[in-house]
Amino acid sequence: MGKHSATLCGVLVALLCLGTSIAQAQILFQGFNWDSWRKQGGWYKFLRGQVEEIASTGATHVWLPPPTHSVSPQGYMPGRLYDLDASKYGTAADLRALIHEFHDKNIRCLADIVINHRCADKKDGRGVYCVFEGGTPDGRLDWGPDMICSDDTQYSNGRGHRDTGAGYAAAPDIDHLNPRVQRELSDWLNWLKRDVGFDGWRLDFAKGYSAPMAKVYVDNTSPTFVVAEIWSSLNYNGDGKPSTNQDADRQELANWVKGVGGPATAFDFTTKGVLQAAVQGELWRMRDSNGKAPGLVGWLPEKAVTFVDNHDTGSTQKLWPFPSDKVMQGYAYILTHPGIPCIFYDHMFDWGLNHEITILAEIRSRNGIHPGSKLEILKAEGDVYVAMIDGKVITKLGPRMDVGNLIPSGFHAVAKGNNYCVWEKSDHRAPASRRHY
């Protein structure tokens, strides 16, 4: 009996360790861009044909577009939240089939959740669009102006609470302090999990409502993964360049993830902004005054989702794009460093970078690099950045070829491209047939 118990304990410990490893080894993939809704035949159907290649990146989660009826085709002006058939990306059946395909590859699916604001179907007696339809035969999410923030004077009747976050001029700001709003939005989110198959949330414009309000929805729905869009575009000097201290920027991100707690993470806009400035001859920016990474990843790496571009910053909008000829330096950084890296659809499929991105993702997986991996920055000067991760991987960015004795014996190059190179310790070296340098 004792022998069997010991064996059982050993199995349980192994399973627990495996579970921890899987939980740590996270890669997010953004599965759409700004114009995906235009795809003939529907985006959901089209994306099913790319699930296999997305899985090859080691992606553990995929971020899908807003799934509901929306006044704007991209989905960010939602109205009838239960009406998934009105989405420009495809039908509810198409969406469920796509999620099933991803689940078959052990990839969990995040819904893009837009709840800061909402578009109304009808006008009230004042002639104001503030009467909402939920998209069901019953009264779920059928709201009136009482559910709009009182300080959103364009739409409100003045009876709601004041907004807990930033205003949004293009549509009514929803009153998240209203108990009915909290209850019915939580029910809707749980329906997306239970009936549609989603596993977690990407929270759009999370600046629009406070962290305590976001916590209500996270606590009520128990998602496996939550990431917030809290866009901050850095602080700049008089010369138009980012200031050396971006602590206020990343403090905003840190405050949010701590305020929400649980699985909450945030897109690391601070790292994106600093990195895209640094690769333009200012790589000294990649080490802060305390010798750490300059973004949220330098403070709370397990809570930082790092990225190069997304449907807003890049794609056809190009609101804050990474330098196009240096995108792979961005991926060399995020895919070998702490944090949770996010791969953008366009770079993988439209830019022809799938081979290079996949190689870097394999290095991450092979060496067990995870959100909390140890980062040691060895050099950060104008034309070169060198860092060691977990004592097993070394990454160099920048045009300088000679890095002196920073690369110890026993490390071998396993990936290189335009102004980046990655070395791996010999005992983790890829088989000869899988080296790409």
Q: Which residues are catalytic?
A: 204, 229
Find out whether 28 and 60 touch, Cβ atoms under 8 Å.
yes
Distance CA 207, CA 30 (A): 21
